[in-house]
Structure 1
Amino acid sequence: MDPRETRESPARRRLREHRERASLAAVEAALGELRTGRGLSADEEPGWARAAIERAWSIHTEPDALLPDDSPPEVLDAWIEARLAEHGIGGDVYVASHVRPRPWLECRLPATGWAERVRGAVEEPWMFLSGPLDRLLIVSESEYHFECHAASV
C-alpha cells in the first residue's frame, strides 16, 4: 500500500480514486483500437523492469539512442517505432499508462503507424514492455534530445 493512502482522509481517497479512474478512462479512449482490454497492475510488473526504469533515470546511464528534440513529430514517431522493432518489441505490448490503478495497458501494435496515437494518449516518458515481459524500451525527452533506453532480462 502506498504510504500516502494511510494518511489521507476517506473523502480525499474517494476524490483521488475518482481522478485516477477518469485519467485511466481518458488514456484508454485515446488508445482506441490499439487496446486489447488487458493490462498489468503494479504488482504484476516484473521487478527487473522497475530496476531498469530507475537505472534509465540515472545521469550515469548512457542512452542506447538519441534523436534531436527539434525533430518533426513524424520523424519522432518513425524513430520510436524503429527502436521497438530493433529491440524485438512488437505485436502485443504493454504501454505504460502512468495511472496507478492500471500502470500498464496491453496494446496490439501494428508494424507501423501507431506511435502518434500512443504519444497522444500517454504522457512522456513512453515506456513499452514486451508481451512476454522480457524486454523494455523507454523513450524520454531530455535537454536537446529524445533518449531511448533499452533493457532485457
Structure 2
Amino acid sequence: MHSRSHHRLRDYWERAALQVIESKLGDLRSSGGAAPRPGEEPEWVVEAIERAFSIHTDPTDRLPDDASPQHLDAWLERLLSAHGLTGRLHVRTHLGIQPWLEIDAPAHGWTARLRDAIEEPWMFLSGSGDTLVVVSEAEYFYEAYVCRRPA
C-alpha cells in the first residue's frame, strides 16, 4: 500500500512539474509527439548520457561558469547549430512520466526560455535521433558533450 501511494504521489508531482515546464516553454513546444516515450530511449542514448557524466570523458566544448546568461545562451545556440540540432528537436525533462519533449527551436533567442523551464543538465536529441548534446555545469565550467549514434 505504501509503495502504491508513493507512486501516485510521485505521479502527481511529476504531472504538476510537467505542466510548469510546458507552460514555460510555451510556443516552443511542438505537438508532433515524436519524442521518445518512457522506456523507449534508444540504447545508444542511454549509454551516451552515462558516458557524458563519466570523469573519463573529455567535453567537446566548455564555457566558464561565470559567463553572463546572454553569453551562455549564445554559446548553447551556436553549439547546437554547429552539430545540426536546429528546428524540431527533443529536450530531456528529467521527469519519469515524460522524459523527452519535442520542441521547435527557432534560429535564435530560445535557450533562455528553455533554461528557465528545465534545470540543468540540459540534454538535446536531434529530431532525426542521431545526435545527442549534453550540457552540464561542472566545477568552473559548463561542459558540453556531443555524441553521435553509432553506425
TM-score scaled by length of structure 1: 0.92
Q: Distance in 2 between matches of 1:9 and 1:54?
A: 28
Partner amino acid for 2:86? G
Name 2:30's counterpart in structure 1.
36
Q: Distance in 2 between matches of 1:92 and 1:8?
A: 41
Q: Distance in 2 between matches of 1:14 and 1:67?
A: 40
Closer, same or farther: CA 11–112 of 1 in aligned 2, 3 Å: same
Q: Which stretch shows the higher mean deviation, 7-16 or 87-96?
A: 7-16
The 5 Å alignment of 1:33-112 reads 33-37=27-31, 38=33, 39-112=35-108
May I ask how many residue pairs the two structures share in their alignment?
Answer: 147
Q: Could you say what the CA RMSD is over the residues aligned between the two structures, in angstroms?
A: 1.2
Of all paired residues, the percent bearing the same amino acid is 48
Name 2:5's counterpart in structure 1.
11
Q: Distance in 1 between matches of 2:36 and 2:2?
A: 25
TM-score scaled by length of structure 2: 0.94
Structure 1 portions without partners, runs of 5+: 1-6
SS of 1:149 mapped into structure 2:
strand
Q: CA deviation at 1:86?
A: 0.7
Q: CA deviation at 1:138?
A: 0.7
Partner amino acid for 1:120? D
Once superposed, which parts of structure 1, at least 4 consecutive aligned residues long, lie more than 3 Å away?
Answer: none
SS of 2:77 mapped into structure 1:
helix
SS of 2:39 mapped into structure 1:
helix
